[in-house]
Amino acid sequence: MKAQSIKGIAFDLDGTLIDSVPDLAAATQGMLAELALPLCDEEQVRSWVGNGAAKLVERALTFARGEAATQADIDAAMPLFSKHYEANLQQHSRLYDGVKSVLEQLAALGYQLAIVTNKPYRFTVPLLEAFGIDHLFNQVLGGDSLEKMKPDPLPLTHLKQAWQLDEEQLLMVGDSRNDIFAAKAAGISSIGLTYGYNYGEDIGLSGPTAVCNTFKEVLAQITDSQIVLEQ
């Protein structure tokens, strides 16, 4: 599939567009403190991000308790996490270099852009608004917007149908194996980013169509008609 076939691009959020770990860590620490449990550090949270808020809470509780967290533990802790994250939503998070400029250029070129994240929708939109990029996206799908989230292909197949695109016309850009596996399952191409949150694993091991070390490289991958994205 040639890059010029692409009409729509789905972007992950955490670890792709935004470094949100400092605020996620503050929320996780606040939750653990209220539960009188040992605190984690920011680097631990960095390794836990990627499968949605409930999984982050589960991993934090399992660490702090020294045993697997039960569903009851998770259900009891989630409101605490949500409260602290809402209070810390955009205290220390930042856009990665080049993100706003590249998104603006892609939108100006006529690409349809979407957010496909496992972060709850209620936290996703305020973040996009805070960084002044919400208007660039035609669709925003949070981890709770549909019945399933990445690595399930449902968000991408939903997007493909909403935009009436063929497989070769939709691209997934993300930093995690969840993004790459979802793209493969949906039959679309993907770009893997090396700088985000991928559980300490080389994104190339997940087999993305292309790999970029910076967000600015994404623009060249998508707009250079000489680049062929093999599925």
* Alpha-carbon gap, residue 98 to 23, rounded angstroms: 21
Nearest alpha carbon to residue 21 among 74, 79, 94: 94
The answer to whether residue 19 is catalytic is: no
**Cα Rg of the chain (Å, integer):** 17
12, 14, 175, 179: the active-site residue: 12
* Alpha-carbon gap, residue 184 to 172, rounded angstroms: 10
Q: Rounded to the nearest 10 degrees, how much is the dihedral formed by the CA atoms of 12, 13, 14, 19?
A: 130
Per-residue HEC secondary structure of 77-94 comes to HHHHHHHHHHHCCCCCCE
Tell the burial category of 178 from Cβ atoms under 10 Å away from its Cβ (0-12, 13-18, 19+).
buried
The tokens of 152 are what? Answer: 């399930």
Nearest alpha carbon to residue 185 among 116, 133, 106: 116
Place of tokens 């399930």: 152
- Which residues are tagged catalytic? 12
